[in-house]
Amino acid sequence: MTGSNLKIELEKLIGKNKVSSDIGDRLCFSRDVTPICYKWIDLYKLPPYICDVVVSPENTEDVIKIVQFAKKNKIKIFIYGGGSGVVGGVIPTEGGITIDMSRMSKVVILDEESLTIEVESGIIGQNLEDFLNKKNYTLRHFPQSIRSASVGGFIATKSTGQFSTKYGGIENYVTGLEVVLPDGNVLITSDKPRSSTGPDINNFFIGSEGIFGIITRAILKIYKMPEKVIYHCFIYEDIFSALDSIREIMQTGLKPPVIRLYNREESRQKFAKLGFDYDGCLMILCFEGNSELVDAESEVAQKICTKMKAKNIGDELGKLWFDNRFDTRHILEKEEEFGGVSDAIELAASWSKIKKLYADVESYFRKKQITLASHFSHAYTTGISVYNIFFLNVKDEEEAIKRFYAVWNDVMEIALNNDATISHHHGIGIIKKDKLREELNEGINILENLKEKLDPDNIINPDKLITKMI
C-alpha cells in the first residue's frame, strides 16, 4: 500500500486528525537521539529510514484498530514514545506506520491508599512527576531524559533513574500493564504486590523494546515526598578505594538514592565547570526519607568514607549536581559538530569484576587517545554500573559514523570479556544487537521464539533488540 492510500485507509479507521503523511512529521518521528541520526542529516540531508505515515492514537481502541489493520495488510509498525532513546529504537527501518504515543498521556487513577498510579503510556516523565508533586507524591524515577521520555519508553527500554540505588529501575515500579499484542488482543495484568502464578508476565514487556506489543497503560508505584534530604561530597585520591567505600555502604545495608563516583577526568570537568579548585575523584552521596533514618544512615556512611581516607568537602557540590542534573548540553552539542561524536556506554559488572572492567575500558580509550569521562552510579549490593562518555573529533561525518561503531564494538567486546553487561539501562535498539547473542546465549532463542509466536509476520518494531529476522 502506498503512502497516500495508507493515509486514506488509516483516516477511515481512526479519524482524519490522527494521521499525517506530512514530510516534517515523518522526519520528526523517524529518529531519536542516537548519534548516527545527527550524522545522517549532515551526510544525506534526509535520513535513510523514513516512515510512510505517522498516526497519533487517542486511546487503546485506536491502537487496536491500527494493529489489526497493519497485521491484515502486512505493514510494519514502529512505536515512538518520547524519542529520547539513544540506540535507534524508534528508527523505522522498513518504512510503514509510526505510532506517536503522545496523545495517550492521561492520568487514569491515583490510588492514594496503595500508593500506585495508573497512567496512559505516552505521558512524559516530568509531567507525571509534576502531577504527583502537586499532591505531595513523587515517582522518584529520574532518568536524565525525564523531560522528554515517556512512561512507555521507560518500560520498553528498562530505564533507570538517578535515584535508582534506593528505588530501583523501572522494573521495580511496574505493578500492572495494558499491552496491545501484535494480533490486536489486549493483555491486562492487574496490580498485585506479588504473586506466585508463574513467571511475571509484566517482565516480558519490561525491556522488550516494543517487539512484543504496544504498552498503552501502566500502573506504577509512587512514594510520599521525602521528609529530609542530605547530601555529602567526598574526594578520594584513587578511584578504587572510593569503589570499596561504595561496596561497603551497599553491603552494610544503607540505601542512598544517589551515589555517584566520578573518575579524575570527569571530576576535573565538574570542578572546573562549577568553579572549584579540587583534585581527585569526586563522590556524591545522598540520603532521603524519614529524618531519623536519614541521620543514622548519613552517620554510618560518613564513617565508612573517612575510614577509606576520603576528604569530606560538605554538601555544596551535591546540591549543585541536583540543580543541574538534567543538563546534557556538553554531550549533545558534540553531535552537532562536524566530525564530532560523543556517546555514553553504560556497562555494569559485579563487584569482583568491576575494577578490571574499568581498567580495561580506561586503557582502551587512553591507547586510542580518545577523551573519556567516566562515572559509577546505580549501585547494588552485588555490583555497580559504570557510565563511560567518550568524545571523538574526526575529519568528517562518514568517518565519525565509522569510528562510532568501531568504539562501540570494541568496548562491548571488553565488556563481554569481563563478564559485564553490554547495556545497564539504554537498551539494545539497532546499535548493540549484533552483540546481544554473546551476552544472552540460549536466552536469545527464547526471545526469538516468543517473538515468532506473538508476531509471526514480524509487524511490530522489526529489526530491534533481537538479530534474527523472521
Ligand X SMILES: Cc1cc2nc3c(=O)[nH]c(=O)nc-3n(C[C@H](O)[C@H](O)[C@H](O)COP(=O)(O)OP(=O)(O)OC[C@H]3O[C@@H](n4cnc5c(N)ncnc54)[C@H](O)[C@@H]3O)c2cc1C
Using CB under 6 A, list all residues that contact ligand X. Answer: 32-33, 79-86, 89-90, 101, 121, 143-145, 149-150, 152-154, 156-157, 159-161, 209-210, 214-215, 328, 425-427, 461, 464
293 to 92, 228, 230, 269: CA distances (angstroms): 49, 9, 11, 33
260: alpha, beta or left, given left = phi > 0 and alpha = psi -120 to 50?
beta
C-alpha count within 13 angstroms, C-beta hemisphere, residue 10: 31
How far does Cα 450 stand from its chain's mean position?
23
Taken as a whole, the chain contains a residue count of 470
Q: What would the grid cell of residue 111 be? A: 490510588
Residue placing its CB nearer to ligand X in the complex, 235 or 430: 430
Least gap, CB of 249 to ligand X (angstroms): 21
Residue placing its CB nearer to ligand X in the complex, 34 or 245: 34
Residue placing its CB nearer to ligand X in the complex, 183 or 360: 183
**Cβ(186)–Cβ(217) below 8 Å:** no
**Cβ(123)–Cβ(103) below 8 Å:** no
Residue placing its CB nearer to ligand X in the complex, 210 or 280: 210
Which residue's CB atom is positioned nearest to ligand X? 153
Least gap, CB of 169 to ligand X (angstroms): 8
Least gap, CB of 293 to ligand X (angstroms): 26
Least gap, CB of 187 to ligand X (angstroms): 12
**Cβ(342)–Cβ(334) below 8 Å:** yes
Residue placing its CB nearer to ligand X in the complex, 81 or 257: 81
Pairwise CA distance, residues 188 & 381, whole Å: 33
Least gap, CB of 176 to ligand X (angstroms): 15
C-alpha count within 13 angstroms, C-beta hemisphere, residue 164: 24
Pairwise CA distance, residues 119 & 150, whole Å: 11
Least gap, CB of 286 to ligand X (angstroms): 16
Least gap, CB of 167 to ligand X (angstroms): 13
Q: Look at the alpha carbons of 290, 295, 296, 298 in this order and tell me if their dihedral is positive or negative.
A: positive
433 to 89, 158, 451: CA distances (angstroms): 11, 16, 15
AA identity, residue 72? K
Residue placing its CB nearer to ligand X in the complex, 80 or 231: 80
**Cβ(377)–Cβ(259) below 8 Å:** yes
Residue placing its CB nearer to ligand X in the complex, 97 or 310: 97
Give me the torsion for CA of 215, 217, 221, 222, rounded to 10°: 120
Least gap, CB of 425 to ligand X (angstroms): 4
Residue placing its CB nearer to ligand X in the complex, 383 or 429: 429
Residue placing its CB nearer to ligand X in the complex, 152 or 340: 152
313 to 55, 294, 301, 306: CA distances (angstroms): 52, 19, 14, 11
Least gap, CB of 365 to ligand X (angstroms): 21
Residue placing its CB nearer to ligand X in the complex, 238 or 333: 333
Least gap, CB of 164 to ligand X (angstroms): 8
DSSP state of 381: S
Among candidate residues 235, 279, 97, the one with its CA nearest the CA of residue 245: 235
